[in-house]
A and B are shown apart, each in its own frame.
Chain A
Amino acid sequence: MALLLISRGSFSGGQLISQCLSRTAGTRCLTREDLTAVVNTHGDLANQVLTSMARAAQDYSRLSALRRPYKILMQRALLEYVRQGDVAYFGYSGHLLLPGIAHAARVRILAPIQLRIEMLMKQGGVSEEQARERIHQVDEERSRWTRFMYGKSLKDPELFDLCINLERVSFPTACGMLLSLAQQSEFKPTPESVAAVERRYLCACVLAALIDNPRTFELEVGATAEGGCVTLEGPYLEDADRAAVLETARTVSGVTDVQYKEGYAPPFDLTS
């Protein structure tokens, strides 16, 4: 159940690395599109979140309200894959989507602008000037996305375990390094880290169920789990709202007991 969370610039060779990982180690490589496809299978609300994300791009407050449900749904989608086997996720700020998993290795792939331009020209049949402009635009969007979603800089090396620059490190070497990194004891799943994945998954399912329910959609509630016992923590709720929260959480498969505590709802990133 190795887990590589990979962030890369647009047209920085992510696809080639992904092919290499699949071929060499049978690692399942996922993109953001793979996760959104999973999110879309969970009913209308998930669709609405994603559509509204695109529509609300210019409207900060609307977009901001969607940040939490989006992250929860994406995290649950990724956790579904992580539970099944080795995964390399190449997505927008992939290294930040699933923090707190002890065996996850966070990697950034960089490539010099000239190499990226050449790759895009070859792939998209565009001129050098168009390729440069497109790369600049996508980089800018991703950088804004990371700042908005996570309040972090994409360039901060402290957020990664390894940054590889493909200017002089070849694709096969980079691929070998990633495979070797995943084999290191620090990044090998342990019974504790696997149990943490299960706890995170259960919490994500509960929070997603609350998002799916229009009555509880807007409540900022955090979740922790121990076995099938889930503790929800959030603001003071009227009896009817509290009952709706507890009832919704109980419907989630794997949940054996639920309790609600008033207090600070930890950000979803920090729940386990």
Chain B
Amino acid sequence: MSVITISRGSFSGGKILAECLARKLGYRCLDRDVIVERAAAYGVSQDDLREALQKPPGFLDRFKHKRYLYLALMQASLAEEVRTGKAIYHGLAGHLLLGGGQPILRTRIVAPIERRIEMLQERLRYSRRDAIAYIAKVDEERRKWTRFLYGVDWEDPALYDLVINLEHVDIEEACRVISSIVLGPRFEFTAESQRRMDDLAIASRVRADLAINRSTSDLELEVVAHDGAVTIQGKVAITAQIDEVKRVASAASGVASVNIDQLVPPIRV
């Protein structure tokens, strides 16, 4: 009853694998669009959310705050969707959005470039040249995106529990290998797993609420939760925001208490 994230290059067969796992395990299959739709319920444009997940930040963009907001909303939506387990997410950076240490099986699949080109040509009717250019562009954008936001190389196998190359292993076999692991004892969805997933969902929800709330939307804060007790760290711009942070966080569902001792007020000169 665990959660599986599948990271993959574009047109690498991630969707087919996710569907196979969903059939085999009886899990829900989630893609980026499901998460975007849910995040858009906070009142932001779906196109902006997609762009935030897709395009690497440009030089000027790095100084903008919007991306933080979109990612906070996406993270909250994804955490909420997978909170009760039995879910497969095949979209960009699921393993990073959900963070480490959770009862999540982080997988990545890689496929030989020729197969990806074929798949893309078949689906989008691109010429070979355009298909190669498209794949190279999207891969590069994703590489830059994860490097900038998380400081990691998305291809690094150490970020995943399992990396399967589809050059010689077919999707059915990959599906069998992944499902056998997720059904093993290490990925059993215990009461402790549920508690951790609930805490992740609560912390992400608080972070999203703070990011969308007008009086705290300029802040970039770290939020963690343990058994519903929320701790918030970071800097506020004006002292009045400290109370506002506490008020917004306390109102989020599932929050038992809020600790803001580590919120840093502005320095007075």
Would you call B163 and A162 a contact (CB within 8 A)? yes
Would you call A160 and B165 a contact (CB within 8 A)? yes
Q: Which residues of B contact A180 (CB under 8 A)?
A: 177
Q: What per-residue 1/0 map shows which CB atoms of B223-266 lie under 8 Å from chain A?
A: 00000000000000000000000000000000000000000000
Would you call A186 and B169 a contact (CB within 8 A)? yes
A23 within 8 A of B: no
Majority secondary structure of chain B interface residues (helix, strand, loop or mixed)? mixed
**Contact residues, B132-165 vs A (CB, 8 A):** 153, 155-158, 160-165
Q: How far, in Å, is B225 (CB) from chain A's closest CB?
A: 22
Majority secondary structure of chain A interface residues (helix, strand, loop or mixed)? mixed
A161 within 8 A of B: yes
**Contact residues, B95-110 vs A (CB, 8 A):** 105, 108, 110
Taken together as a complex, chains A and B put the C-alpha atoms of A122 and B140 apart, in Å, by 42
B222 within 8 A of A: no
Taken together as a complex, chains A and B put the C-alpha atoms of A173 and B188 apart, in Å, by 14
B33 within 8 A of A: no
Would you call B157 and A157 a contact (CB within 8 A)? yes
Residue of A nearest to B163 (CB): A163
Would you call A184 and B169 a contact (CB within 8 A)? yes
Show 30 residue pairs from A and B whose CB-CB distance is below 8 angstroms, ordered by the A residue.
A105-B168, A110-B158, A112-B158, A155-B157, A157-B110, A160-B157, A160-B163, A161-B168, A162-B162, A162-B165, A162-B177, A163-B157, A163-B162, A163-B163, A163-B164, A164-B162, A165-B157, A165-B160, A165-B162, A167-B161, A168-B105, A168-B187, A170-B185, A177-B181, A181-B169, A181-B177, A184-B169, A184-B173, A186-B168, A186-B169
Q: Which 3 A-B pairs have the closest CB atoms?
A: A163-B163, A163-B157, A157-B163
